[in-house]
Amino acid sequence: MSYYSCRLSLLVLLVASVAAAQPSPPARQLRQRALSLLSSPVDASVQVAKGALTTLTFDSPLLTKSVVVQGRDTHFERFVVEERTVTLKPKVDLADDERLLLTVRFADGAAPQEVLFVLVAAGEQVDAAVEVLRRARSAEALQQELTQVQAQLTALQGRCGDGGPSGLILSGMLDSPVSVKWFDSAAPPGNTSGLKLETGAVYRASTWTVVVVRVLNLAGQRPWSPSGVRLFRLNGQPVPVKSVRMEKPQLAPGEAGLVLVETGALSELPTEDLRLELAEPTGSRVLRISGVSLPALR
């Protein structure tokens, strides 16, 4: 559990009680997996689908200008190559027998210098995140990493205490007065997301800010969970988001739940209103919320 996840878990106790949920499984699941180039043979196939983002993350830097994909103009609405990631979003579904090659070249000169990935049509699962491992790590390095993680976990458990309000104080999260402001903002005209904002509040201290919204997934809609969460100032400037947490893994049709979005201190924004966007993984259902009012710091 990350530090921010622990802090937000404790904050939820001050907002609402968490109800047990049994969400309906999505029609097509998004999966995360690791792919090792040290294996022989290597299964370098990647399942993609129309409208779904797929990101490949590498442990070695890429020759960004040498990374190419077949059907770039005809099959993809998004294809972004960065130093260690390749992100793509198909605009059409691949045929069952269709195969597209993604060629990746590395910048460090070590073997293998080039890898071919085969993009195929997704079945019940879409590869949303693929971690590509190219370098071998020694047993000593893995043991050292495990020891560090265990030490961090022990320290985190000590700070979080037993949860509840006391644990919130022990975590150091309440090192300054907390200001709270509720807001009630309807979705803009023409909202077709199938989602409704029920309530919203902003919790603000000197070192952190958390936006809490209760979202209703209307009856007859698909199960929903946000993966693309963004905050903006009124002038369009983005506000960095540190972490996102949901009260439930996803919202079934007719079900409501809390979404918590944490940012930094925002000391440069005295009481400015923000705009919040919550989007599902495919990006097809986006709830835009304006009038997210920051309370004044005490």
Domains and CATH numbers, the chain: 3-23+173-293 (2.60.40), 39-133 (2.60.40)
**What tens digit of pLDDT does each residue of 78-117 get?**
999 999 999 999 999 999 889 999 999 999 887 788 899 9
242: left (phi over 0), alpha (psi -120 to 50) or beta: alpha
**What tens digit of pLDDT does each residue of 2-33 get?**
444 444 444 544 443 333 344 443 457 888 88
pLDDT band at 72 (very low <50, low <70, confident <90, very high): very high
For the chain, percent of residues with pLDDT exceeding 90: 26
Q: What is the mean pLDDT of residues 198-207?
A: 87
Residue 24 confidence (pLDDT): 41
**pTM of the entire predicted model:** 0.47
